[in-house]
Amino acid sequence: MTLDPIRKAEQEHFRTLLMPTPFHPRLAPLVETQSWYGWAGMLVAHSVFDEELEYFAIRSTAALFDISPMIKYRITGPDAERCLNRLTVRDVSKQKVGRVQYTAWCDDEGHVLDDGTLFRLGAADFRLCCQERHLPWLLDTARGMDVAIREETQEIAGLALQGPTSFAVLSKAGFDGVEALRPFQLAEFDHDGGKVMISRTGFTGDLGYELFVPATAALSLWDRLWEAGRLHGLNAIGYNALNRARIEAGFIVANGDFVTAETALRADRVRMPDEIGLDWLVDVDKVQFNGRSAILAARKNGTLKHVLVGLEIDDNTPAEAAIVYHGNKREVGLISAAIWSPTAKRNIAIASLERPYGSEILDDLWVEIYALRELKYHKMMKRARVVERPFVKLARRSANPPARF
C-alpha cells in the first residue's frame, strides 16, 4: 500500500530526525550495541560495546564521551557579568577569567530552572552549559543591559575525557602545559590550525577533562586523542556508563533527579535549591538575583518541603524508582537514581524525601524494591540509611599536578 502524496507530505512534515553530532563519523563504527537515543535533538549512544566494561574504563583507564548535544550559550558584552549575576545564584564577580563555576538559576519563586557550568573565557565573555534550553528566559533576564546572548550548541563540539589515565592521554597527544590545570580551571591549546579549550571538569567524580572545539575541527580532535590513547586504555563510552559514575559521585541530573521549573506540570513537583542539595551554591550576600527573596523567605519561615539525600540500602539489588517509607508504613519519598556501586561496594541511591524525613528524622527508613526473578516480581523491603554524598571520593580527581597513571 502506498500513501497518497498529500498524506505522505503530512507525515514528513511532522517527522523530526535526530542530527548526528560532529563526532558521529568516528563514534558510529564503534557502537556495537546499536543502542542510541536523542539528547537535545542529537543522536547519541546509550552504550558502545558493554556498559559495565565502559564504566570500568572510567574508573580504571580513560573514557571518551560525546557531550556535543549539551546546550551551550555564549554571553558577551559590557554587562555580561551583571546579567549572569542577576540570573544565577552564585556571585559571578568572584569568578576569575579562566575558571569554571558550577551554578544554578531559578525563577522568581525560587524554583530551580536548571543547573550547569559557567565558563569565564574573558572579562566580558562567558559560556553557559546546561541540560535544557532557556534562551527566552536568558533574554528576559538581560533586558535593559548591554549584552549579547546566543546559542552555540551546534557550532561547538565537545568531548569529556575522564578517568585515571586521562591526563596521560592529553600529555601524549601533545597538549603541553595541561598538567598546570587545576580543578575547575580552563585554558586554550593549539589544535589543527586553531584552538581547543580544555577545562579540568567532568561528570564522573574522577580525574577528567572536557574539550571544546569548533565543529569543523571535531574529527581531527577525536583522531588526535584516539591515537594518543592507544597505550593508555582509552575507550569510547555511552551515557549508561557515565550515569553509573555520576551516581557514585553524587551528582544530580535535571529532569532526572529533580523536575525543572519550566517543565513541571504539577505545582508540587518544583524544587528550590535547598530541596535538591544546592543550598551551598546560593550566595545570600548578593544584593539581587532571580528568586533570592523567595529562597530567603522559605529558609526563614521553615517552609522548605523536600530534601535530596544519599541512601545506602541493604542487599545488592538496585532500588531505582523505588518508594521510600518510614517505619515500613508511611510513604515519604522516591528514589530517582540507584546502582550497586562496583567501586564503593555498596548499594547506593539518590532520593527526594518529604521533610522532616531525611533532614531531622533519619532512622527507620525502608525501601520497597521489586526484583524480577525468572518472570516473577519479588517484593523486598530493605532498610536504608542516609549517608553523605559523594558515595565515592577519589583523591586523584583533585590531585595537583595530576598523576600519570
**366 found inside a domain:** yes
The mean per-residue pLDDT over the stretch 253-266 comes to: 96
**How far apart are the C-alpha atoms of 30 and 48, rounded to whole Å?**
6
Residue type, 278: L
pLDDT of 7: 62
Digit-coded pLDDT (tens) for 73-94 = 999 999 999 999 999 999 999 9
Q: What percent of the chain has pLDDT over 70?
A: 96
Same domain, 358 and 328: yes
- Shared domain for 79 and 95, answered yes or no, is yes
Determine the average pLDDT of the residues in 141-165: 97
Boundary residue ending a domain (122, 151, 180): 151
Mean pLDDT estimate for the chain: 95
CATH at residue 131? 3.30.70.1400
Choose one of 105, 127, 151: the last residue of a domain.
151
Place 270 in a pLDDT band, splitting at 50, 70 and 90: very high
Domain CATH number, residue 329 = 2.40.30.110
Terminal Cα distance for the chain, rounded? 61
Whether residues 61 and 75 share a domain: the answer is: no
Q: Is the pLDDT of residue 10 over 90?
A: no
What are the φ and ψ backbone dihedral angles of 87, each rounded to 5 degrees?
Answer: -75, -50
Q: What is the pLDDT of residues 189-212, one digit of tens each?
A: 999 999 999 999 999 999 999 999
Q: How many domains does the chain have?
A: 3
pTM above 0.85, yes or no: yes
- Strand pairing of 71-76 and 306-313? unpaired
How far is it, in rounded angstroms, from Cα 301 to Cα 268? 18
Instruction: Please give the torsion angle defined by the CA atoms of residues 398, 70, 238 and 115, in that order, rounded to the nearest 10 degrees.
Output: 50
Q: In a 3-state reduction of DSSP, which class is residue 166?
A: helix
Which residues constitute the domain of residue 381?
305-387
Q: Is the pLDDT confidence value at 13 over 60? A: no
75 and 65 belong to one structural domain? no
Say if residue 60 is in the same domain as residue 164: yes
Write the pLDDT tens digit of every residue in 349-382: 999 999 999 999 999 999 999 998 999 999 999 9
Q: Across-strand partners of 292? A: none
* Tens digit of each residue's pLDDT (9 = 90 or more) over 205-252: 999 999 999 999 999 999 999 999 999 999 999 999 999 999 999 999
Q: Rounded CA gap, 272 and 53, in Å? A: 37
Of 127, 151, 175, the position where a domain reaches its end is 151
Burial of 354 per CB tally in 10 Å (0-12, 13-18, 19+): middle
How many beta carbons lie within 10 A of that of residue 189, not counting itself?
16
Write the CATH number for 65: 3.30.1360.120
Query: Average pLDDT of 339-352?
Result: 98
Taken in order 28, 31, 32, 34, is the CA torsion positive or negative?
negative
83 shares its domain with 97? yes
Tell me: do 225 and 373 sit in the same domain. no
Residues 374 and 323 in one domain: yes
Those residues with Cβ within 8 angstroms of residue 238's Cβ, 6 or more apart along the chain or in another chain? 31, 33, 35, 44, 45, 46, 47, 48, 51, 54, 65
Predicted confidence at residue 404, as pLDDT, reads: 87
**Is 293 part of any domain?**
no
Residues 135 and 96 in one domain: yes
Q: What is the mean pLDDT of residues 344-349?
A: 98
User: Residue 217 is which amino acid?
Assistant: A
Residues 77 and 64 in one domain: no
* Same domain, yes or no: 174 and 226: yes
Summarize pLDDT for 22-75 with one digit per residue, the tens. 999 999 999 999 999 999 999 999 999 999 999 999 999 999 999 999 999 999
112 located within any domain: yes
| Residue at 319 is within a domain | yes
Is 210 one of the annotated binding-site residues?
Answer: yes
Domain match, 60 and 93 both: no
Using 50, 70 and 90 to split pLDDT, how confident is the model at 328?
Answer: confident
Question: What's the pLDDT band for 287 if we cut at 50, 70, 90?
Answer: confident
